[in-house]
Structure 1
Amino acid sequence: MMIERLREYVGTETPTGDAAALNAFADRLATRYADLGATVRREPQPTGDHLIADFPGRAAQPLLFLTHHDTVWPIGQLAGAMPWREADGIIHGPGVFDMKGGLVVLETALEQVAGRDHRPLRIVVVADEEIGSPTARALVTAEAEGAYAAFGFEPPHPNGDLKTSRWGSTRVRLEVTGREAHAALDPDRGVSAIDELVDQLIAVRQVVAGHEKVLCNVGTISGGGRTNVVPGTASADIGFRFVDPQTEEAVLAAVTELKPVRDAQLSVQVLSNRPAWEPSGATDELLAKVAAAGRSIGQEIGGAPASGAADTNLTGWLGIPTLDGLGPVGKGAHAVHEQVVAATLAERAALVAAIITAL
């Protein structure tokens, strides 16, 4: 049943920013959560609605479950380079690991705890997590208020361990405006926005080199148009990862203070930000409770820090006891070999059900 549901979910492609596809998938989740007893709300956004589902329970403080239904893959990926495939207990497909497998795990666990005593449960399904949740940050922060604990359904560590902290993640856009001119007849009147952008990216690398444990990835570059025209515009989107808030503050301050090296205009814009979620005693205590719940069903559960970022960064940063990685075991997030181990779908659902009833 879980594999069939996962195939259905993967078969509905939901790239970030495709509001029609995301909203159609949200309709499906909303109906399912309502059938299981939830009160469902939506927060409309131009790039796709976020979904909030509240299940009643016996205590005041709810458990918060953070998920997302967008993927990095465009429409057509399933019919092209990444067809659904099952072989030797491994399932392949776009979004199977990040994170439609996690959505199936959560839904199955909700079925398993139906009619049993547990805390109130609040599910937040985000539509733009893969680009840093720019429209969902305030929502996640608001819905986290008063939560007993927060759990994310992102993929776990390769050995199945949960994630007990995460690096901070910030997306920055550099935009350069130069001056167009004929590249052969009047090159001196032009100011190359691309040349300026290249120099600025070198400067960014120099900033990063001055700090330990900073990741920097130039994810996209655009600019120019014709080889016989000095390019008048250029831009780059950069993803930074920071181990702690102090490093993040220092690097971003230096990047936002960059100055043009030629007669061009430079704009530095922060597109999204998820602060570092640092290790804490509260999360260690939560992990101990989760490990005990795991042992009650014959599973050994561990935890370790992670370099990737997710919406659990926000709850961890707010001081709410937080764990992530409750999705199935697999590999290949954001890669064409994306896959999950089929047997771990049921194992993770049983673990989540045990956590819900134990806490």
Structure 2
Amino acid sequence: MSTLSPLAAAFRQTEYPVGGHGRRNLDVLKEVINELDGTVESDIYGTGEGIEAFQAEMAAYLGKEKAVFFPSGTMAQQIALRIWCDEAGIRKVAYHPLSHLEIHEEDGLRELHQIQSILLGEKDRLIRLDEILELQEDIACLLLELPQREIGGELPPFEELVAISAHCRAKGIKLHLDGARLYEVLPYYQKTAADICALFDSVYISFYKGIGGIAGAILAGEEAFTAKSKVWKRRHGGDLISLYPYYLTAGHYFKQRVHKMPQYYEQAVELAALYNSCHLVTTLPRVPVTNMFHVRVALPKDKLEPILIALYEETGVGLSHFLREINEHTCGFEVSIGDCYARIPKNELKRALERLDASLQEVNWPM
């Protein structure tokens, strides 16, 4: 018996899913492994020619001295903050109220490392420069997420990042980048990854979100920092006997997709405009600044679900497999543009959004 929700089941049957790179199944691994020489030696406990070459490649891409491959970003970021707290002798770090560390990690930073989080700013907007300048708490590290996923992928002006970096360095505060989607901000800023990372003392990037690998992350910084991170990686159980399924797929899809980020960004802007032309629909932000944005519909979840299911069955275009309740009158979902978008015939996509608009205009719901 399927455990999928009716919406997810209908989405799975669509010919044209709008977001992402496609189904996450064994083909993601097979596409890579089948092209490789089966006699190539695997890494062993984080060492070996393959993993070390990949780490060096990522360090160069990010403009940092060294980089270390981790099985997860959760592990990498907690370790980065632990190192900075130990060095400063201060058990406090600051970040946005909707940071991944705050809402998705079961209080790992506090329970495992006894580090207190200082929440800066409001949940529905970016941290502001003046809030950082006016912070009275002594903190070891400030974490910034680019883009800020939970509010639609918003980004601060690059000049503000420069000012924040200068302030932190003047105050002796380490600046850490949650760059899980770092690649996705480059088209908007018109900067290289190294340009942005130069403002930060440590950087984390992911390989399964915008890149579409199986799992894995890189933590990068100065050599002394990464040497300490390797010790903590061992303590956390992150030195698996072999990590090659992860870093090999990471490297493969990185090369395949990192140069497509401008295309994904342009397509996100195009799609958001189509959504904003629909009755009861708005996007956050209205004009995306990355290939990711949020869609909000002024209907309860139980009213929108049957509309989407009917739309999927009629058009074969899948908009989302999941709806999040925003409040009793509004629900929404996240869109992240990848390879799938370009496979959708433009006339089919236009027809699906026109059908959505028509269906929403027919809804009898108090506004």
TM over 0.5, shorter chain: no
Which structure has more strand as a fraction of its residues?
1
Alignment TM-score, normalising by the size of structure 2 = 0.27
TM-score (norm 1): 0.27
Q: Which has the higher helix share?
A: 2
